[in-house]
């Protein structure tokens, strides 16, 4: 299966962009895509790890390095964010504490980064006159049962409501929500790959019926770019992406390796949901995505007229176990090969 998010990307030639969490898996892929496809005036990589910034700098083509700036900073630091956002046109907010067990064990740290950090991004963008901001969310933000998901739900609400704070300011905010990213740092693929390389005797499976949504980094980057183009402010964009059982995923990666059921971890769901039945009342369906509409007085879906936007049915729910699109082993391996993902 190949998913293509075909809406045109925004005119980013000559634009200045800032990526929070810019040395993470998504941030690096997004920055490299910007430099390959466009001629941006500046790309600001905003993150707090100097080693990761140094390592990323070495991967930037020599003829593009004059366009890239690396800012040491933390989204918890409002003043530093505001300084970094001066003369910036677009912000992609990818910084977050994302590890579910770590968030459960360190709740205050999760709240400071994912919730207070979201507030800081909003206020800095408003004060500096950024044009558009897109925040990356997660399927765990829908009906959350763990702190990470709850903190990202709060973050989503902050970015949607931020459009009410803009007043006569032209700054607009939207959210992109999607599922597991194939091959990203901390995901199951590199974990399985490490176990296989260390000659483990089996792969741990939390539950034989567990399902997840899957998307590649490249698809995620394209989806954010296209959402940046069509956003009006306040939307939550959700791509139509396939589901796969974790057992089938493990069998595709290591077909001859036994699987051991180890039990669901605290805060983990059997299936993930990206649109709840309650959200369905304000959800539009496009050819390649869903849009949860904001309850904002200024918002109108008139700008989506050319995208064949239509309401979803009553009671609709977009969950990983109720999906119309599924990956089998061959489909997963083709997808990984197409996007250059090792397995």
For residue 2, pLDDT beyond 50 = no
Q: How confident is the model at residue 8 (pLDDT cuts 50, 70, 90)?
A: low
Residue ranges of domains in the chain, CATH in brackets: 16-179+214-242+274-321 (3.40.50.720)
- What pLDDT shows up at residue 11? 79
Q: What angle do CA 29, 30, 31 make, to 5 degrees?
A: 95
Of 98, 140, 240, 269, which residue is the catalytic one? 140
Determine the pLDDT at residue 268. Answer: 86
From residue 135, how far is each of 27, 114, 115, 155, 197 by CA, in Å? Answer: 12, 11, 12, 8, 35
E strands, the chain, are 16-20, 42-47, 68-72, 90-93, 132-136, 172-176, 180-182, 203-205, 211-216, 236-239, 243-245, 259-261, 273-275, 283-285, 289-292, 310-311, 318-319
For the chain, counts of helices (H) and of strands (E) = 11, 17
φ, ψ for residue 291, nearest 5 deg: -130, 120
Residue 336, CB-side half-sphere exposure with 13 Å CA sphere: 20
pLDDT tens for 268-322 read: 899 999 999 999 999 999 999 999 999 888 888 888 888 889 999 999 999 999 9
Q: In this model, does residue 340 exceed pLDDT 90?
A: no
pLDDT of 63 over the 90 cut = yes
* Model confidence at 6: pLDDT above 80: no
Q: Give the pLDDT mean for 6-35.
A: 89
Q: Answer yes or no: are the C-beta atoms of 160 and 234 closer than 8 Å.
A: yes
Identify the DSSP state of 31: H
Q: Region 216-224: what's the mean pLDDT?
A: 94
Quickly state the pLDDT bin for 341 (edges 50, 70, 90).
Answer: confident
SS3 6: coil
- Closest among 94, 182, 178 to 138, alpha carbons compared: 178
pLDDT at 41: 97
Question: What's the CA gap between 43 and 170, in Å, rounded?
Answer: 21
To the query of whether residue 140 is one of the catalytic residues in this protein, the response is: yes
Distance CA(4)–CA(288), nearest Å, equals 8
The string of DSSP codes covering 225-268 is HHHHHH--SS-EEEE---EEEHHHHHHHH-TTS-EEE--PPTT-
Check if the beta carbon of residue 341 is closer than 8 Å to that of residue 189: yes
* Nearest Cα to Cα of residue 184 among 28, 26, 338: 26
Please name the helix (run of DSSP H) or strand (run of DSSP E) that holds residue 124, with its range, or none.
Answer: helix 117-128
Write the DSSP symbol of residue 78: H
């Amino acid at each position: 299966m190949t998913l293509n998010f075909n809406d045109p990307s925004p005119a980013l030639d000559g634009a200045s962009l800032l990526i929070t969490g810019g040395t993470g898996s998504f941030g690096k892929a997004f920055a490299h895509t910007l430099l390959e496809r466009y001629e941006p005036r500046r790309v600001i990589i905003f993150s707090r790890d100097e080693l990761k910034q140094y390592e990323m700098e070495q991967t930037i083509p020599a003829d593009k390095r004059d366009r890239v700036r690396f800012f040491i900073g933390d989204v918890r630091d409002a003043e530093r964010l505001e300084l970094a956002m001066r003369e910036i046109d677009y912000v992609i907010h990818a910084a977050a504490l994302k590890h579910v067990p770590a968030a459960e064990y360190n709740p205050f740290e999760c709240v400071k980064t994912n919730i207070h950090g979201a507030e800081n991004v909003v206020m800095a963008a408003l004060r500096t006159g950024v044009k558009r901001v897109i925040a990356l969310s997660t399927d765990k933000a829908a009906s959350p049962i763990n702190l990470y998901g709850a903190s990202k739900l709060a973050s989503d609400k902050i970015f949607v409501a931020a459009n009410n704070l803009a007043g006569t300011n032209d700054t607009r905010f939207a959210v992109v929500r999607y599922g597991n990213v194939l091959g990203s740092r901390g995901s199951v693929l590199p974990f399985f790959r490490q176990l296989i390389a260390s000659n483990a005797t089996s792969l741990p499976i939390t539950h034989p019926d567990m399902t997840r949504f899957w998307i590649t980094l490249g698809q995620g980057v394209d989806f954010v770019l296209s959402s940046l183009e069509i956003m009006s402010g306040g939307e939550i964009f959700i791509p139509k992406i396939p589901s796969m059982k974790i057992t089938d995923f493990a069998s595709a990666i290591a077909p001859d390796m036994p699987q051991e059921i180890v039990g669901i971890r605290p805060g983990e769901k059997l299936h993930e949901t990206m649109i709840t039945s309650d959200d369905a009342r304000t959800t539009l369906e496009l050819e390649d995505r869903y849009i949860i509409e904001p309850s904002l007085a200024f918002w109108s879906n008139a700008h989506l007229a050319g995208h064949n936007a239509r309401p979803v049915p009553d009671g609709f729910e977009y969950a990983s176990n109720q999906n119309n699109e599924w990956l089998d082993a061959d489909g997963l391996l083709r997808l990984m090969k197409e996007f250059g993902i090792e397995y």
